[in-house]
Amino acid sequence: MNKEQAIAACQAANVRLIRFLYCDNGCTIRGKLVPVDRLAGRIDAGQGLTVAMQAMNMLDQLQPVEGMGPVGEIRLVPDPNSLVILPYAPHNAAMMCDMLTLDQEPWGACPRTFLKRMIARAAEHDIVMQATFENEFSLFKDEGDGQYAPLDNALCFSSIAMTMAAEVIDDMVTAFQEQGIPIDAYYPELGHGQYELPIRHTHALAAADNQIWFRETVRNVAYQHGLLASLAPKPLPDQAGNGCHIHWSLWDPTGERNLLYDPQDPYGVSELGRQFIAGVLAHLPGLLALTAPSYNSYRRLQPHFWSSAYTAWGPDNREASVRVASGKWGREASTVNMELKASDPSNNPYLALGGLIAAGLDGIERKLDPGDASLIDPGNLTEEERQARGIHRYPTSLIDAVAALEADNVLLAALGSELSTPYIAVKRSEYHAFAAEDVDFEIKHHLYKF
């Protein structure tokens, strides 16, 4: 969609306000709004924003990062192609923004621009990524006095939960349909009040944009039903966590050949696919700071919770950090894909996907080997067996993941210091802020922010 089409679409839908949104270094979604008669001018010249916002953490505590204080301005420039008319807010539309400097150059601290750079880097290898973020989320009833109870106490895939949540899920499905975001399936998940609504894959930038629309839609539609939807990684410490598994496949530039697939391989994985997996596993400790980046993330990433806890890969192995998802009957060549389990919905999808591409491409460039596939839960091996297979427990806290990111020169170079410096400062500050408080404080803040 170009500028004129976006303006016409807003007029046809009687839009009065347009949200210019971005996902920040605390991984929360923020933005500003303009009235529809200002849209053309803002697409051309952007909306002003203080540089300081990329040094703000998820508790609205501004971090001391050089050049990101009260002096300095960037422009949020909306991408007409990302326009959605919002079914859950009257006369509102939304667009995702890139951050540009006053010189009209991409700002080094812009996460969406980072993902575009990584997509371009993959293109230099004649690789085009298709991806989707597969979210789980929790629905809560307001019990008063700040207390929330899960919408159901039902079993995994339970038909009882389907009925209890039927109305709100129906409205979510309708809202996705109206925004042109095709869903692929729906099921109540294992945790109490936990649901999963996978959406279909698309090219990498649209997949990340769709993840923003997913988070927005689920929360807002639930709100209309008087419910709280949370995409926090572990909203209930004694229940299953919310994953946001990243599925991806790699295609040749014609879009006709799935480069991950090799019919000769027992698991259908090509040499290039193995190298990409090896890159992801090699960088996983630091990559986690981008894909599972909140304090609460590490309450989820425990052995035997189907979220992964070790640097392992395997065919349809849901305890491996990279699962090779088996193809569909008769369509294996086009449907075999990879899934990063070590990812949750408290991430910034532009950073998570961009980081994943940077890690995988490093595996290709260095022709890395991921070792043998894990055919069992790596958590059931002894420590000696894991060591012998090159399987390691990855970081168990946000501060350890941030330290691993700081030690990862490939990821740091890909991010660039203008982005990695404030990101690391923000994430480190979040770790210390939550480590100084109790679990109730942690849950409360993650419950509402994600």
Nearest to 9 by CA among 70, 114, 60, 82: 82
Quick one: what does residue 299 bind among ligand GLU, Mg ion, none, with the CB cut-off 5 to 8 Å set by partner type?
none
Show the site string, 253-272: x = touches ligand GLU by CB under 6 A, - = not: --------------------
Quick one: what does residue 318 bind among ligand GLU, Mg ion, none, with the CB cut-off 5 to 8 Å set by partner type?
ligand GLU
Quick one: what does residue 300 bind among ligand GLU, Mg ion, none, with the CB cut-off 5 to 8 Å set by partner type?
ligand GLU
Q: How far apart are CA 213 and CA 216, in angstroms?
A: 5
218 within 8 A of 111, measured Cβ to Cβ:
no
Residue at token pair 């698309």 = 202
Task: Select from 218, 240, 309, 368 the one that contacts ligand GLU (CB under 6 A).
Answer: 240
- Token pair for residue 54? 């990329």
In whole angstroms, the minimum distance from the beta carbon of 197 to Mg ion comes to 10
Residue number, 341 or 446, with CB nearest to ligand GLU: 341
Given the rule CB under 6 A, which of 82-90, 270-278, 279-287, 302-310 is the region that contacts ligand GLU? 302-310
Task: Select from 26, 198, 241, 354 the one that contacts ligand GLU (CB under 6 A).
Answer: 241
Residues 123-182 that bind ligand GLU (CB under 6 A): 136
Given the rule CB under 6 A, which of 31-39, 167-175, 235-243, 393-401 is the region that contacts ligand GLU? 235-243
Q: How far apart are CA 108 and CA 119, in angstroms?
A: 16
In whole angstroms, the minimum distance from the beta carbon of 185 to ligand GLU comes to 11
Show the site string, 187-226: x = touches ligand GLU by CB under 6 A, - = not: ----------------------------------------
Number of residues that bind ligand GLU (CB under 6 A): 10
In whole angstroms, the minimum distance from the beta carbon of 141 to ligand GLU comes to 21
Determine, following the binding rule CB under 6 A, whether residue 300 of this chain makes contact with ligand GLU.
Answer: yes
Show the site string, 408-427: x = touches ligand GLU by CB under 6 A, - = not: --------------------
In whole angstroms, the minimum distance from the beta carbon of 240 to ligand GLU comes to 4
Residue number, 118 or 240, with CB nearest to ligand GLU: 240
In whole angstroms, the minimum distance from the beta carbon of 207 to Mg ion comes to 18
Determine, following the binding rule CB under 6 A, whether residue 243 of this chain makes contact with ligand GLU.
Answer: yes
Show the site string, 316-335: x = touches ligand GLU by CB under 6 A, - = not: --x-----------------
Residue at token pair 């941030």 = 402
Determine, following the binding rule CB under 6 A, whether residue 306 of this chain makes contact with ligand GLU.
Answer: yes
Burial class (CB in 10 A: 0-12, 13-18, 19+), 411: buried
Residue number, 28 or 296, with CB nearest to Mg ion: 296
Residues found near Mg ion in the complex (CB under 5 A): 196
Sites of contact with ligand GLU (CB under 6 A): 136, 240-241, 243, 300, 305-307, 318, 341
